[in-house]
Structure formats: C-alpha cells, structure tokens
C-alpha cells in the first residue's frame, strides 16, 4: 500500500456584536472558531504488487497482470464570509453577526468527516456489476469468433427464400415488362393505379392574397378530406410486412452471403496478415447517473434549504490476450463456420429470439459461455474506472420568526457549495462468466420500426 497527500478539518470563525443599551451603552463582542470537521484536501491510496512487468512480443516472458486498486479523494470545503444584523428593537438596540469559513459544512454537517477514509452516505445508482458482466460477455465473444453462423444460415435458408422469393419474382417480371414495354402486364401487376384529383372544396382567395370571408368572418370554402376506406387502411399492414421482409428477409440473406465468403477466405486472410504470437481483444461498457436531492435544516435563526447533486461516471473495460493451439488446423476451420456455437445457434432459431436480445443479450451470453475450442487465454482481466462527484449547494433561507431580535437574512452567502470527487480504478485478473445473462436495453429507431411492424402483422 502506498499513500500520498494530506487532509485538514475545516473551521468556521464567528463573531457577535450587540449594543444592549442605547444610545451610549457599551458594545459587547463575542468571537471564536468552531471545528466543522470537513476533511479538506487530497488523499491518494494505491494497492498493488510491486515488481517489473515486462511486455515483449514473446508472451512467454510476461508476468501476468496483478490486482491493482487506486483511490484519489479530493475534498473541497466551502469558503465564504458574511455579516448580517437582526431586526432592531423599538428602543434602538441592535446586533450583528459574522460567519467566515466553511458555512455549508456547519449547516449541513461535514461532507467527509473521517480522515483518510472513503465518504459514506452518497451512493451511486450506476449498476457497475451489470456493466462489468456486459463487458466480460462482449470480450469473451471476441475471442476467436466464428466468421459465419453456418448452422443458423442452413436452418433458416428455406424461410429466407420463401420470404423474398415472391418479391424477387415480382421485381423480375416488372423489369421484363418495362423492357418490353408491355403496359397491359404492368396494369395487371399494379392494379388500381391512382390518379390526381382536385379536392372537392377549396378556399376562395381574393386579389389581395387573403381568403374571402363570409358574414361570420369565416372562409367561404374550406378543404375537405375523405375518410380512408378499409382497403386503404389495410395498406399499413402491407407496409409493415414490407418492413419486416426487408429487415429479416433481404438483409439477413446478404449478411449471410458476406459472412460465408469471409469464412471461406478467413484462413487465406490470416496467412496474409502479419503473424503474431497472440491476439488482443477487448470490450468497453460505460454508464452514468445524475441525481438531485433537496434537503432542509433548521439552524441559526431560520431554516436552510440545499440541493445535493450526485454525479457518477463508470467505464468498464474487459480485455484478453490469447493464442490458438492449431492456427491452420481443422478445428480452426470448423470454428470459422460456427460449428461449435451450437447453444447460440439453437437460440437464434427460436421464434422472436432477436426481440428478447433487445433487452437481455441472451445470444451473446450463450456465445460467451460456449467453450473456446483450441484457445489458450494467456492474460485477461477487467478494469473499472469510476468518477464519483458530490456537490452540496445552499439554495435558500427562511427566518423562523419575525420582529425585533429575529435574523431575517441568511448568515452565510446563498449559492455557496462544498464538494468531493472520488476517482477509483480497480483492475482484476480473469474474466468471470456471469451466472445469468446481464440486461442491456438496446432500442433505436430501426428497432422501434421493427417492433411496430411486428405488432401490426401479428395482431
């Protein structure tokens, strides 16, 4: 363990002056300093295993990654000064007070009270464990991945062909009819051709560019829209079918062809690339949150209001370095075509499995837990970086009473704030596979359109 930095408790200086007898009475003055206790300053702590870590092209000379934890805490107490007076008595008696120093800590309590210790009571709502699980699953999926899911392609080939066959035939017939100039054939293919028609009623405009109004001040005529007939409303279902046909008929077919070509030439591509002793892969996931909590505290002749802002940013990186036992063997070629990804293939063939993957990536998790045939992981781990910041700001002050001797004004400047920032970095060796699939909601415009089309067709 190594430490650096220092922390000192904050204080608040005060003074009270009063003239209890007027007009020539003595002025009494009381002053002092209070220990607020906010541990201001910076404190760093590092936990690691010291030693040389040689990084060379020959992984056999490496020393494996060791656990590492670093924590940097920066605490900033509030600073300010203000002099206020209480309401004067009818006979002229007066008094004032002055606060200088850490007023926010005095009103709300110290933001960090223990020296060289982590703050308590300001927890983050970011699910770091879920982000870590997602990063681990993504990284394991990148270890010696298959170039083509041939099992899924072969099983769904019939469905894909059936989905696009009729559309492809129509396109081909339309192309041939256009080439031959066969208008009758085009009329049969596309019946009910729409023609342009003027609206039944239109607004009558004057020469000055404004509508002509009737006695009631309204336009003489207005546009009218005819209601859609049931046949025209059903066109929405046709549009939904076309959307699904394109997204899950044509698009997968093209991707499957490309992936199959990649798998066929995967070995040739590996032979052409620069040879390395190992391969590096990684996956990064990020999350953030920001919350605001209002609080109120009675103190100093009134009630204070404040806002506690908590902002957290988390970045998780999972990494791995691996080698393949037989880079050009039969097992490697079978892996290129996804022969060993049987659990994922079974899941991909399940109806609407892709919809479930929008919320919980079950397919990726199955790919992560599937044993990596012929793979030797030589180094792996996760790195979690967290930036946690808390800021407390005074926002208001309401006096608890009115009249002579009451304090109508806040004794410390409103808008003053104290804060702390906690930066942590934790490196852990290994890629622990989560027992259950982590959740990750992945919706975008395309998937929302797909969901709408599915609901329309399946209703």
Q: 256-300, pLDDT tens digit by residue?
A: 666 666 666 666 566 555 556 678 889 999 999 999 999 999 998
Q: Which has more pLDDT, 171 or 336?
A: 171
Question: Is residue 190 a part of any domain in this protein?
Answer: no
The structural domain count of the chain equals 1
Least confidently predicted of 53-67, 193-207, 395-409? 193-207
Short-list 100, 83, 104, CA closest to 40: 104
Model confidence pLDDT, tens digit, residues 295-320: 999 998 899 999 999 999 999 999 99
Residue 369 has pLDDT above 70, yes or no: yes
In a domain, 108, yes or no: yes
* Of 202 and 432, more confident: 432
Mean pLDDT, all residues of the chain: 77
The answer on pLDDT for 208 being more than 90 is: no
Give the pLDDT band (50/70/90) at residue 146.
low
Q: Is residue 376's pLDDT more than 60?
A: yes
The model's confidence at residue 228, banded by pLDDT at 50, 70 and 90, is: very low
- Which tops the pLDDT comparison, 455 or 235? 455
Q: Given this model, what pLDDT does residue 297 score?
A: 94
Query: pLDDT band at 224, cuts 50/70/90?
Result: very low
Q: At residue 163, does pLDDT exceed 80?
A: no
Domain that holds residue 291: 2-136+276-325+365-458
Structural domain includes residue 428: yes
Whether residue 370 lies inside any domain: the answer is yes
pLDDT at 438: 85
pLDDT band of residue 132 (cuts 50, 70, 90) is: very high
- Which carries the bigger pLDDT value, residue 431 or residue 22? 431
How large is the average pLDDT for residues 387-408?
A: 92
Q: Which of 115-129, 225-239, 289-303, 370-384 has the highest mean pLDDT?
A: 289-303
Q: Provide the pLDDT for residue 295.
A: 95
| The pLDDT value given to residue 196 | 47
State percent of the chain over pLDDT 90. Answer: 32
Q: In this structure, is residue 334 part of a structural domain?
A: no
pLDDT for residue 309 = 95
Confidence bin at 343 (pLDDT 50/70/90) = low
In a domain, 31, yes or no: yes
Q: Looking at residue 416, what is its pLDDT?
A: 94
pLDDT for position 235: 47
How high is the pLDDT of residue 20?
79
Task: Reply yes or no on whether the pLDDT at 437 is more than 50.
Answer: yes
Q: What is the pTM of this model?
A: 0.66
Mean pLDDT of 385-390: 95
Residue 254: pLDDT band with limits 50, 70, 90: low
Instruction: Output the CA–CA distances (angstroms, integers) from residue 136 to 303, 314, 338, 347, 364, in the order listed.
Output: 49, 15, 20, 20, 10
User: Does a structural domain hold residue 208?
Assistant: no
Q: Is pLDDT at 55 greater than 60 in this prediction?
A: no
Tell me if 262 is assigned to some domain: no
Q: How confident is the model at residue 385 (pLDDT cuts 50, 70, 90)?
A: very high
């Amino acid at each position: 363990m190594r430490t650096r930095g220092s922390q000192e408790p904050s204080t608040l200086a005060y003074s009270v002056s009063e003239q209890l007898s007027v007009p020539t009475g003595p002025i009494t003055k009381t002053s002092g300093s209070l220990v607020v206790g906010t541990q201001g300053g910076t404190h760093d702590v590092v936990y690691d295993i010291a030693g040389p870590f040689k990084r060379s092209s020959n992984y056999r000379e490496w020393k494996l990654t060791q656990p590492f934890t670093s924590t940097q805490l920066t605490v900033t107490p509030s600073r300010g000064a203000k002099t206020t007076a209480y309401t004067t008595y009818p006979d002229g008696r007066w008094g004032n007070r002055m606060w200088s120093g850490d007023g926010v800590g005095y009103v709300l309590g110290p933001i960090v009270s223990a020296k060289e210790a982590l703050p308590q009571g300001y927890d983050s709502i970011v699910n770091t464990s879920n982000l870590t699980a997602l990063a681990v699953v993504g990284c394991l999926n990148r270890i010696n991945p298959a170039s083509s899911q041939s099992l899924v392609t072969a099983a769904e080939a019939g469905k894909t062909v059936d989905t696009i066959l009729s559309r492809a035939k129509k396109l081909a017939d339309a192309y041939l009819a256009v080439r031959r100039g066969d208008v009758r054939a085009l009329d049969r293919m596309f019946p009910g051709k729409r023609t342009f028609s003027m609206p039944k009623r239109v607004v009558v405009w004057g020469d000055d560019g404004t509508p002509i109004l009737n006695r009631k001040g309204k336009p003489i005529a207005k546009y009218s829209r005819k209601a859609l007939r049931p046949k025209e409303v059903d066109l929405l279902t046709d549009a939904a079918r076309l959307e699904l046909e394109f997204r899950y008929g044509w698009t997968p077919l093209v991707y499957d062809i490309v992936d199959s070509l990649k798998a066929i030439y995967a070995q040739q591509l590996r032979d052409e690339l620069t040879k390395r002793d190992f391969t590096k892969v990684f996956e990064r996931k990020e999350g953030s949150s920001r919350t605001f909590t209002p609080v109120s505290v009675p103190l100093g002749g009134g009630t204070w209001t404040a806002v506690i802002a908590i902002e957290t940013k988390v970045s998780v990186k999972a990494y791995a370095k691996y080698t393949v036992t037989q880079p050009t063997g039969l097992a490697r070629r079978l892996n290129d075509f996804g022969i060993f990804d049987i659990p994922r293939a079974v899941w991909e063939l399940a109806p609407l499995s892709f919809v479930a993957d929008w919320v919980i990536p079950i397919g990726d998790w199955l790919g992560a837990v599937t044993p990596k045939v012929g793979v030797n992981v030589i180094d792996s781990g996760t790195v979690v970086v967290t930036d946690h910041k808390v800021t407390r700001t005074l926002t208001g002050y309401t006096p608890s009473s009115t009249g002579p001797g009451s304090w109508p004004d806040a004794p410390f400047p409103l808008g003053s704030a104290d804060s702390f920032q906690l930066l942590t970095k934790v490196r852990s060796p290994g890629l622990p596979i989560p027992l259950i699939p982590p959740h990750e909601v992945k919706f975008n415009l395309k998937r929302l359109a797909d969901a709408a089309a599915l609901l329309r067709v399946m209703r």
